[in-house]
Structure 1
Amino acid sequence: MDDRQFRTAMGKFATGVTVITTEHNGDIHGMTANAFMSVSLDPKLVVISVREEATILNKIKESKNFTVNILAADQQELSMYFAGQIKEPREVVFDRLDGKPVLGGACAQVVCEVSTEHVEGDHILFIGKVTDIHLEDKEPLVFVNGKYHTLAGISTS
């Protein structure tokens, strides 16, 4: 199998969209990611996957913390900006939760301390111990088949 076939197959799995943020030396860094999942309820743990070449990688290693911002349906532009798809500079306003930078308007903001990290293939998996959470009653942004979607109008009955 080639890389394109693998990516296409993985793209069939619908995911939420997150922006991972961290603060290092007074600067806030962010990266769009859909490689995120909960790991444990007791203790409360999540995992994110960051490519070895990602600019944010060493920032997370040095700060020892990260936040996961689960984007709302109206935050596609933020996803595109932090994915590098929008090149022109944008002023992004960050809120604070537990002293850490978070994106206002997200469905959920999850603040984490790095518990452990694992090298797997060309990515580093960061296990984060959840220290705080903020929730909003909003619909999530969804990504599948290389495109953004919303859940509006989708019925499960």
Structure 2
Amino acid sequence: MDDRTFRNAMGKFATGVTVITTDHGGESHGMTANAFMSVSLNPRLVVVSIGEKARMLEKIRESGKFAVNILSEQQQEVSMLFAGQLKEKREADLDTVQGVPVVKDALANVVCKVYGTQIVGDHTLFIGEVEDIVLRDGKPLTFYEGKYGKLAETQLI
């Protein structure tokens, strides 16, 4: 199989959209990612996957902390900003939790310290021990077949 077939198959898995943030040298940095999952309840662990060519890789390694910001359906532009998809240059609307930059108004800000790393293929998995969480109500921004979306309204019978 070729790379395109593999990518198309992986695109069939609908995900939420996150922005991974960290502080490096007193500056906030972030990147859009959908490779995120919870790993363990005890200890509370999550994992994010960062490509070897991503500038964020060394920033998280050096800072030892990161936040996973789960975006709401109103935050597609935020995702596009951190994915480098917006033409105009803008500043992100960030806050801090325990000294780690977080996206304002995200559904969840999950602040972590690096618990461990694992190089896998052309990515590094950062396992984060959750130190703090901020939650808000709302619906998630989704990503499916390379496109942003929203959850459909469902009616219980």
What TM-score results when the alignment is normalised by the length of structure 1? 0.97
The residue identity in structure 2 corresponding to 1:107 is L
1:6 paired residue number: 6
The residue identity in structure 1 corresponding to 2:127 is I
The SS at the match of 1:149 is: strand
> Aligned partners of 2:86, 2:156: CA distance in 1, in Å?
34
CA drift of 1:93 comes to 2.1
> Do the aligned partners of 1:139 and 1:152 also contact (CA within 8 Å) in 2?
no
The SS at the match of 1:80 is: helix
Determine whether 1:143 maps to 2:149: no
The residue identity in structure 2 corresponding to 1:19 is V
2:109 paired residue number: 109
> Aligned partners of 1:45, 1:127: CA distance in 2, in Å?
7
2:58 paired residue number: 58
The SS at the match of 1:132 is: strand
2:72 paired residue number: 72
% identical aligned pairs: 61
Q: How many positions carry a matched residue from both structures? A: 157
> Aligned partners of 1:49, 1:154: CA distance in 2, in Å?
31
| Cα deviation digits, residues 12-65 of structure 1 (max 9, x gap) | 000000000000001111000000000000000000000000011100000001
> Aligned partners of 1:87, 1:112: CA distance in 2, in Å?
31
1:37 paired residue number: 37
| Cα deviation digits, residues 117-149 of structure 1 (max 9, x gap) | 000000000000000000001100000011111
RMSD: 1.1
> Aligned partners of 2:10, 2:91: CA distance in 1, in Å?
32
CA drift of 1:92 comes to 1.3
1:84 paired residue number: 84
1:27 paired residue number: 27
The SS at the match of 1:50 is: strand
Gaps of 5+ in 1: none
CA drift of 1:88 comes to 2.0
| Cα deviation digits, residues 45-91 of structure 1 (max 9, x gap) | 00000000001110000000100000000000010111111132112
> Aligned partners of 1:76, 1:156: CA distance in 2, in Å?
28
CA drift of 1:113 comes to 0.2
> Aligned partners of 1:119, 1:135: CA distance in 2, in Å?
30
CA drift of 1:151 comes to 1.2
Q: Within 5 Å, which residues of 2 pair with 1:115-126?
A: 115-126=115-126
> Aligned partners of 1:156, 1:97: CA distance in 2, in Å?
37
What TM-score results when the alignment is normalised by the length of structure 2? 0.97
CA drift of 1:154 comes to 3.8
